[in-house]
Amino acid sequence: METIEINKIEAIVRYERLQDVQDALDEIGVSGLNVTEVKGCGRQKGYTEHYRGSQANISLLPKLKVESVVPAEITDRVVEAIVAAAYTGETGDGLLFVLPVSEVVRIRTGERGVDTIRHKTPAGWGY
């Protein structure tokens, strides 16, 4: 069986934890991430909207989906960093998934493989 070299991490987190998650990922050298606004439900359930004397149950809550593709050897550190940064202890902190990725291509150069996503500090980066 082929060993997994690359993983994709999908974390559903609270809006207000995003900055901490990003800071934590920066610290351990994750080279990139995507953030998407999503609506979903889980154990937190929804909330009640009051409008002109009527009520509506809104079952889907807004969350952020943070996706990052990372080399397999740092996956555990990344998972720990995200969990620590996104944690509040209240229901609704979200979930995190790890998925194997079979290939990565950098569109500009055509470069392939796990080295494509290894972190390099960009030239002129401030710190």
Partner 1 sequence: MDLIASTSLAGLKGSLDSTNVALDTLWVVAAAILVMFMQAGFAFLEMGFSRQKNVGTVIAKVVMNFSICAVVFWAVGFAFGFGAGGSILGYTGFALHSSDVAKDFPGLAFSDVGLSAKWWFEFVFCAVSLAVVWGTTLERIKFSVYFIYAIVFSAIIYPLIAHWLFSGGWLAASLGSQDFAGSTVVHLTGATGALAVLLLLGPRRGKYGPDGKPNVIPGHSMPFVGLATFILWFGWFGFNPGSTLSALSSTGANGDIRFADIVLVTNIAAACGVLGALTTIWLKTRKPDIGMACNGAIAALVAITAPSGYVNPWAATIIGFVAGIIVVLGVLAIDRVLDDPVGALSAHGLAGIWGTLACGLFTDPTLAKLNGVGQGGFVYTGSLHQLGAQAVAVGASFATVFAISFATFFAIKATIGLRVRPEEESYGLDMAEHGMWGYPEQFMPVPGYEYHQPAPPAGRPAPRPAPVGLGTSEGVP
Least CB distance from residue 54 to partner 1, whole Å?
A: 5
Q: Which of 53, 89, 110, 122 binds partner 1 (CB under 8 A)?
A: 53
Comparison of 54 and 102: residue with beta carbon closer to partner 1: 54
Residue 43 touches partner 1, criterion: CB under 8 A: no
Residue 50 touches partner 1, criterion: CB under 8 A: yes
Comparison of 56 and 84: residue with beta carbon closer to partner 1: 56
Q: Quick one: which of 23, 7, 42 has its CA closest to 86?
A: 23
Residue 54 touches partner 1, criterion: CB under 8 A: yes
Q: Which of 16, 23, 27, 49 binds partner 1 (CB under 8 A)?
A: 49
CA distances from 97 to 75, 88, 127 (A): 11, 18, 31
Residue 56 touches partner 1, criterion: CB under 8 A: yes
Residue 51 touches partner 1, criterion: CB under 8 A: yes
b/e map of 83-101 (b: 16 or more CB within 10 Å)?
A: bebbeeeeeebbebebeee
Identify the three-state secondary structure at position 115. Answer: helix
State CA 90 to chain mean position distance.
Answer: 19
Which of the ranges 30-38, 48-56, 96-104, 113-121 carries the binding residues for partner 1, by CB under 8 A? 48-56
For Cα atoms 13, 17, 20, give the angle at the middle one, nearest 5 degrees: 120
| Residues binding partner 1 (CB under 8 A) | 49-56
